[in-house]
């Protein structure tokens, strides 16, 4: 991921700090859309910019920063990074509950880039885990449909589980279909197997 040019949206209420961070990000090779942004503008800016990553800079107003984080996390496709000049574990915990992927002190360009890399890796891992969960849920759903269809066939024909499954599989193969599709039709009462 290192060396990749990212589109980064930066939100900060301090215009001077916004410019300094924008300059650092550009020096790191990123494209920057910088805004002294209000919470109500977040959705429009995110849709318009479609950033790879969003950054919120914390100064003195924790509540404003937390509201920005929450709104950005709700609309952003990419990760959210908080940059803060002070160590504040309580704020970081509250920000994490609202959806940040990383935080850092923006003292050096390397610190900023490290936070970006961490956020991208965390988001990638989260997406991978979400895909895996979706696959597992799909497999469980398919299994439940097949089990329900087997139960219907067992009750209807007085057969055991293995024979019920064989009937589903034989019918599926004959029609060049998936077993789960045949099972769904049996479970829904659309198909009655002999």
Q: What tens digit of pLDDT does each residue of 49-71 get?
A: 889 999 988 877 788 888 888 88
To the question of pTM greater than 0.75 for the whole model, the response is no
- Looking at 3.30.70.330, 2.60.40.10, 3.40.50.10320, 3.40.50.2300, the CATH number of the domain 7-124 comes to 3.40.50.2300
List, for residues 64-107, the tens digit of each pLDDT value: 888 888 888 888 889 999 988 888 889 899 999 998 999 998 88
Q: Give the CA angle between residues 168, 174, 175 to the nearest 5°.
A: 90
Residues 128-166 pLDDT 10s:
999 999 999 999 999 999 999 999 999 999 999 999 999
How do strand 80-84 and strand 102-104 relate by DSSP bridges? parallel
Q: Is the pLDDT of residue 182 over 90?
A: yes
- The domain defined by 132-187 carries CATH number 1.10.10.10: yes
Q: Which ranges in the chain are annotated with CATH 1.10.10.10?
A: 132-187
């Amino acid at each position: 991921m290192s060396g990749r040019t990212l589109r980064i949206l930066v939100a900060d209420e301090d215009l001077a700090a916004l410019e300094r961070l924008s300059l650092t990000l550009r020096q790191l090779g990123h494209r920057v859309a910088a805004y002294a942004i209000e919470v109500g503008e977040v959705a429009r800016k995110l849709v318009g910019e479609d950033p790879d990553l969003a950054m919120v800079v914390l100064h003195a107003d924790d509540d404003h920063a937390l509201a920005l984080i929450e709104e950005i996390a709700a609309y952003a496709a990419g990760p959210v990074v908080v940059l803060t000049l002070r160590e504040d574990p309580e704020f970081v915990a509250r920000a994490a509950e609202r959806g940040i992927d990383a935080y850092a002190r923006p003292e050096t360009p390397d610190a900023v880039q490290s936070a970006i890399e961490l956020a991208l890796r965390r988001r990638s891992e989260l997406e991978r885990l979400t895909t895996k969960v979706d696959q597992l849920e799909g497999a469980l759903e398919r299994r439940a449909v097949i089990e329900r269809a087997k139960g219907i066939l067992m009750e209807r024909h007085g057969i055991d589980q293995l024979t019920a499954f064989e009937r589903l599989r034989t019918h599926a193969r004959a029609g060049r279909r998936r077993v789960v599709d045949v099972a769904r039709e049996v479970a829904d009462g659309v198909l009655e197997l002999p």
